[in-house]
Chains A and B, each alone.
Chain A
């Protein structure tokens, strides 16, 4: 079941998304969909590659994970189980995930609801940031006047910790939820503006010369040249933004309360339920990993380098 994850950094962590990959690699010729490149390669070299794969692809991540569990166990023993042992935590996790979507009022909801609320906030804040940031990035990249105008502002505001914006959000929007979304918005907008602008500035002059010789309309320039050329940069910005947003949401929710994985961590701390805190840490890590993985996949699908394919 875990067999197809070997080439990506996910290691053994996430059985959910590797299911299609497993299909491709194991079944000899699935022949649905247009046959993708990895399929023939994987099938052809399967017999001899298996061992190297086991050595290089599977064993080291497992060892790393094993080391973590071992250290954890030692710490747990050393602190006389005030840090719960891996086994206890696992038992707790299983019971927790057996009913992720219960709802006993706003302060006691299943872990599924908490993750969902956090993701929803990230999605809204991040989506707004993309809607504003990407066009702004295009404009700044295209016109050097705007670039000179906004660069000092960006340089000044970008290093500010997103949480410093939370009070402003609370003041302006008079609510915890919009304030959290505002914080996500502010932290995800900078990478998107900057990367999009850099992407636009780095569109090869050759392509722009083609546009000029063909006398393409501004619409064609944007859709056929600028957008495809900038897309890889833009997606890098998006990836950085999502990473930061997911970092920030936990902290923001700790401060604002409500339903969400960050608030849940804080709540469990008040209940002195350390097992749940550790579970939350793993869940946060895993969700971040999945977000990153999805965006990397999207980015590679849209990157057209000369050598690619």
Chain B
């Protein structure tokens, strides 16, 4: 935390996103201001349709904002790039490539200029080992379970050594037990890699367990940031121990209170 970069690694300034629809312009996001520090884990939470994923897509550079600017490491985000890796909700693995090849595609893209073939292979293997999928490396996505696919997606993102890891409801399609397991793995991985992470979620426990900062969004249209909650739970975090911690329950209550008391109705107008 010694330079301004470490406290303002990602900066979102006055961002507004309007989509053109047949019924005229639709304002999805308005007046978004947010900073994320280097190595910070931020969760975006809110009801469906509140523009969480829109904001993540803006950070990924897949879309450009109608108004305002997004900066990453003091440079404007003008398009997608491997320094901001995305883990998609539906894993988005290429079904004709094996797990190894899916990860290798990313590794090759980022490191082929500096590394030789052996190093590229080592990086790919390392990424698959990190998510515990060495055994399934030569299988195609169609042959492995949903949880494993999502882990390949995470391995692909991490293998690029991104500056920022963007997760779009990464565990949304998984069953509760698999989700818990992957959350624990993600906690460990992020602790090792010290990545800056922005994660979209609609799961309160997930948000509290994983993040340093929970960004709660108001309902759309013209959604904006309603409240930002700093989660000051000590790391490493243990879900079993935290389940009874009053601090944890307090954070959980705060988020639930926001989501279900203050933002329960979808009739809000801007």
Q: Does B189 contact A (CB under 8 A)?
A: no
Given contacts A305-B142, A306-B142, A308-B142, contact A213 B94 (CB under 8 A): no
**Residues of B contacting A212 with CB < 8 Å?**
62, 79-80
Given contacts A207-B92, A215-B81, A224-B97, contact A304 B142 (CB under 8 A): yes
B161 to chain A, nearest CB (A): 13
Interface of A is mostly: helix
Near B by CB (< 8 A), chain A positions 255-309 give 304-309
**Residues of B contacting A216 with CB < 8 Å?**
105, 109
Q: Does B8 contact A (CB under 8 A)?
A: no
**Residues of A contacting B94 with CB < 8 Å?**
207, 210, 224-225, 228
Residue of B nearest to A302 (CB): B96
Cross-chain contact of B82 among A206, A215, A228, A304 (Cβ < 8 A): A215
Number of chain A residues whose Cβ lies closer than 8 Å to a Cβ of chain B = 20
Q: Does A220 contact B (CB under 8 A)?
A: yes
A215 touches B80 (CB 8 A): yes
**Residues of A contacting B86 with CB < 8 Å?**
209, 213
B88 touches A304 (CB 8 A): no
B197 to chain A, nearest CB (A): 15
Near A by CB (< 8 A), chain B positions 55-101 give 60, 62, 79-82, 84-86, 88, 90, 92, 94-97
Q: Does A153 contact B (CB under 8 A)?
A: no
Near B by CB (< 8 A), chain A positions 197-250 give 206-207, 209-210, 212-216, 220, 224-225, 228-229
**Residues of B contacting A210 with CB < 8 Å?**
88, 92, 94
**Residues of A contacting B95 with CB < 8 Å?**
304-306
Q: How far is the CA of A209 from the CA of B92 in the complex (A)?
A: 9
Q: How far is the CA of A212 from the CA of B109 in the complex (A)?
A: 12
Q: Does B141 contact A (CB under 8 A)?
A: yes
Interface of B is mostly: loop
B246 to chain A, nearest CB (A): 41
**Residues of A contacting B121 with CB < 8 Å?**
none
Q: How far is the CA of A9 from the CA of B48 in the complex (A)?
A: 49
B104 to chain A, nearest CB (A): 10
Q: Does B167 contact A (CB under 8 A)?
A: no
Q: How far is the CA of A227 from the CA of B79 in the complex (A)?
A: 24
Residue of A nearest to B139 (CB): A309
Residue of B nearest to A308 (CB): B142
A213 touches B140 (CB 8 A): no
Which of A215, A225, A308 has the largest count of B CB atoms less than 10 A from its CB? A215
B83 to chain A, nearest CB (A): 9
**Residues of A contacting B109 with CB < 8 Å?**
214-216, 220
B247 to chain A, nearest CB (A): 36
Q: How far is the CA of A308 from the CA of B60 in the complex (A)?
A: 32
Q: Does B257 contact A (CB under 8 A)?
A: no
A209 touches B88 (CB 8 A): yes
Q: Does B223 contact A (CB under 8 A)?
A: no
B80 touches A304 (CB 8 A): no
B6 to chain A, nearest CB (A): 25
Q: Does B227 contact A (CB under 8 A)?
A: no
A228 touches B96 (CB 8 A): yes
A213 touches B60 (CB 8 A): yes
Which of A209, A210, A304 has the largest count of B CB atoms less than 10 A from its CB? A210
Residue of A nearest to B83 (CB): A215
B143 touches A304 (CB 8 A): no
A213 touches B105 (CB 8 A): no
| Per-residue interface assignment for chain A, residues 30 to 61, with 1 indicating a CB less than 8 Å from any chain B CB and 0 otherwise | 00000000000000000000000000000000
Q: Does B155 contact A (CB under 8 A)?
A: no
A206 touches B92 (CB 8 A): yes
Q: How far is the CA of A145 from the CA of B86 in the complex (A)?
A: 30
**Residues of B contacting A307 with CB < 8 Å?**
142
A166 to chain B, nearest CB (A): 41
**Residues of B contacting A306 with CB < 8 Å?**
95, 141-142
Near A by CB (< 8 A), chain B positions 95-123 give 95-97, 105-106, 109
**Residues of A contacting B79 with CB < 8 Å?**
212
Q: How far is the CA of A269 from the CA of B93 in the complex (A)?
A: 59
Q: How far is the CA of A209 from the CA of B157 in the complex (A)?
A: 13
B80 touches A213 (CB 8 A): yes
B60 to chain A, nearest CB (A): 6
Q: How far is the CA of A304 from the CA of B143 in the complex (A)?
A: 11
9 residue pairs, one from A and one from B, having the closest CB atoms: A206-B92, A228-B96, A304-B96, A212-B80, A304-B95, A213-B80, A306-B142, A213-B86, A214-B109
Besides A206-B90, A212-B80, 8 more A-B contacts (Cβ < 8 Å) are: A206-B92, A207-B94, A209-B92, A212-B79, A213-B81, A213-B82, A214-B106, A215-B81
Q: Which residues of A contact B (CB under 8 A)?
A: 206-207, 209-210, 212-216, 220, 224-225, 228-229, 304-309
Q: Which residues of B contact A (CB under 8 A)?
A: 60, 62, 79-82, 84-86, 88, 90, 92, 94-97, 105-106, 109, 140-143, 160
